[in-house]
Each structure stands twice: as C-alpha cells, then as structure tokens.
Amino acid sequence: MTSTPELAFAAFDADNHYYEAEDAFIRYVDPKMRKRCMQWAEIDGRRRLLVGGKVNRFIPNPTFDPVARPGCLDDYFRGNVAKADMREAFGELVPIPSEYRDRDARLQVMDAQSLGACFLFPTLGVGMETALESDPTAMLAAFDGFNRWVQDDWGFAYQDRLFAAGYVSLSDIDWAIDQLEWMIDHDVRVINMRPSSVVGRDGRRRSLGDPSHEPFWARLNESGVTLAMHAGDSGYEFLSDYWGLNSEFEAFRQNAFKSLLTNSPVSDALSSLIAEGVLSRHRNIRVATIETGSDWVPALLKKFDKVFRQQRHAFAEDPAEVFARQVWVAPYYEDDLHGLRNKIGPDHILFGSDWPHAEGLAEPVDFVNDLGGFSDSDIEKIMRTNGLALTDRNC
C-alpha cells in the first residue's frame, strides 16, 4: 500500500461529507408537516426513515450507527476486486466517530489529515429531493428545515475551514431566492443543486435553464456564491424502469446492466445551463461538479463541438468555451486524470476525497498518489488552490 504523502501545503478537499444527525430533517420542520416530510419508525426491529410516508432506501442504514470505515471500498471502485455481496465488501462496521457529526472534532481530524479546509456535503440529503418531488410543498419545507440544521450543526463557513453547502431547489423560484438570501446572510460560500430537471408547484417539469428560473440565476450571479452539483438521486431511475429494472435508487445495491446504462445527469444539467444560455448571460456563475467523476467530460465536449457546428445560431457563444470558463470538475481518483487535464487544463480540476465515505479515500490527501506525472505547480492547483478559490465570493 502506498504511504500517505507529506504535502508542502494544507490541501483543500472539494468533496468532504458529514453524516446527518437523526433530526437533520426534523428539528426545524413544522410538526404538522412531518408526515409529509420525514419521520422515524421502528419496523421489524429496525429504525427506518419514512419519507413522504414511505420507507426510504436511499441509504441502507440512515442512522449511520454503526457505519462503514472510510475507503473500505477503494479496491472495489478501482476495479481491482469483484464482490458478489456488497456487505462483504464493506467489512466490519464501526460505531460512528464524533468527527462525522461534530465540527470541532472534524477540524482536529483535518489537522492530522493535512487538510486546511473543505466543502462539506450531505450524505442522506442528496437523495431526498427526488423522494419528495411529487409533493413540492413538503420537499421545500423539508429543505428549509435542513438548511437551518446545516447552519446550526456545521455552519456555512465555520472558522473559514468548513464550508457546508446549503441546498437549493428551483421547484419554487421565490423559495429558492429566499433561501439563497438567508444563506448569504449567514456567509454561505457554496450551494448544492441536484443535477436534474425540477418539478414545480404546478406539477410541470422544467429544465434548469427554463426562463422562469432566470431571477434565481441573476441573483446567484450577483452573489458570487459557487454552485455545486453533487451526485445523488437525480431522478434518473426512470431509465431503469424503461429497461425493466428496479427503479428505486438504493446506494450500493449493484446491478451490472444498470451500471452500463448511458445516463449522465450532470452532462444533461450542464447542457441545460449552457445550451439554454444561463452561463453565457451570467458569467459570474461558477459550477463545480462533485462526485460525478470525469468520464462524461470528453463525450460532452465532443457533443458540444458537433452541435455548435450544426446549430451556431442557437448559441450565444461556443459551448466548449463556456464550459472551460465556468465549470470545475472533481474527478474520481481512479479516472484518467491525465486525459482530463488535456481536456480542461489543471486550473479547473478539483481534488475531492469523498471522505469519510466507504467509496472514498481512507486518507484524503492520498489523492496525490494518482497525480503522478503532474508538475508540482499543477498538483498544488488541484489539491489546494482551485478549490480554495471557489470559497471566495466572486462578486
């Protein structure tokens, strides 16, 4: 096993996570709304999360206690081993450590990990919008409460080291702008948005670039807050249903055929923002794609080139140039990092460890071991400078 490297600088991790407290979606939600939002229940001796009155299986054990060890699936995701039983791959679970839920304990661990600062993203939260999108009122109430919990327990810019992402949905534009304003008042630096279309209160599905969303994009552009699009349940399981597979999103439940289907929510989300002109009209918006890997990048840039040559009249400018200007990518460490550098340059690549998740790295800065052949300057950009710059309000 490669030893953990010593860096000459404190790294910035663009993909760190917390494990939500059990009241994360309950503490600030009106008790009258909880049956439509989130509740806990004992079912057959197990503590289960009900979302919209149904057992939610996005996370196998949403109490997170016990929990898998960080990086225990490393060999699996590198393709070095095959596992017929994912429970075997996880190995022995452990009681949840304090640093997964306590920000001061997390900072102490980060000191030992050579991490200066990080973006913090939900674990459970990235699967909840899809679970509630058929009831927008409940979904917005749940995330209004969730954002207040995030500020309470983690803070949007705690000690200028922990930058927890606020969550925004465009299901209701007035709500989205109100949330953004409240988060700006609390020093938010990054917000997270599901890479997908959205269902409005009227039941109609709209793209991210729909004209009705323009007031939000204008305010985000003015604010300088970074927009992250973190992987989760983007509602793309309809493709599984189309192919006769189970359409319920369950993390870590593997199906080889489903893994080979060519669906890419992040590509489609960026296509909406670029082809529908959002990023050309609002050049101050910076988009960071997190935990979506980078294999989708060459295919999307190739599509941009072809469609732009065919339909120049439909674009305000070359879509590939927009991507190069306003999109940052956090690749998986097992991706073709040299190929990504050749496509987008080192200035727009972000280091993300996914710590402390099972599918991430056991030691975050071990990411640098996969940057062989990169110059020292490029390594510092990827491991620190690029991500840290996204925490500055680009006003």
Reported as a pLDDT band with limits 50, 70 and 90, residue 394 is: confident
- How high is the pLDDT of residue 258? 58
Rounded distance between C-alpha atoms, residue 243 and residue 245, angstroms? 6
- How high is the pLDDT of residue 356? 98
Helix (H) or strand (E) holding 378, with range, is: helix 376-380
In this structure, what is the dihedral angle of CA atoms 120, 124, 129, 133, given to the nearest 10 degrees? -170
- Residue whose tokens read 């663009």: 14
Give me the helices (H) in 224-295, please: 238-242, 256-260, 265-275, 278-281
Q: Is 163 helix (H, G, I), strand (E, B) or coil?
A: strand
Rounded distance between C-alpha atoms, residue 31 and residue 37, angstroms? 10
Reported as a pLDDT band with limits 50, 70 and 90, residue 41 is: very high
What pTM was estimated for this model as a whole? 0.93
How far out from the chain centre does Cα 227 lie? 10
- How high is the pLDDT of residue 88? 76
pLDDT (tens digit per residue) in 180-230: 999 999 999 999 999 999 999 999 999 999 999 999 999 999 999 999 999
Task: Spell out where the chain has E strands.
Answer: 11-17, 38-43, 46-51, 54-55, 115-121, 162-164, 166-167, 190-192, 198-199, 205-206, 226-230, 287-290, 327-329
Contact 337, 373 (CB under 8 A): no
- How high is the pLDDT of residue 75? 78
* Residue 106 tokens, joined: 């997390």
Which among 157, 208, 217, 162 is positioned nearest to 183, based on CA atoms? Answer: 157
Rounded distance between C-alpha atoms, residue 200 and residue 154, angstroms? 29
User: Residue 262 above 90 pLDDT?
Assistant: no
* Domain 11-389, CATH class in plain words: alpha beta
Backbone angles phi, psi at 309, to 5 degrees: -65, -30
pLDDT (tens digit per residue) in 56-90: 999 989 999 999 999 998 877 777 666 666 777 78
- CA distances in angstroms from 200 to 171, 208, 234, listed in the order given: 4, 11, 15
The residue ranges of every structural domain in the chain are 11-389
- How high is the pLDDT of residue 76? 77
pLDDT (tens digit per residue) in 162-191: 999 999 999 999 999 999 999 999 999 999
- Residue whose tokens read 């997270």: 192
- How high is the pLDDT of residue 104? 98
pLDDT (tens digit per residue) in 306-348: 999 999 999 999 999 999 999 999 999 999 999 999 999 999 9
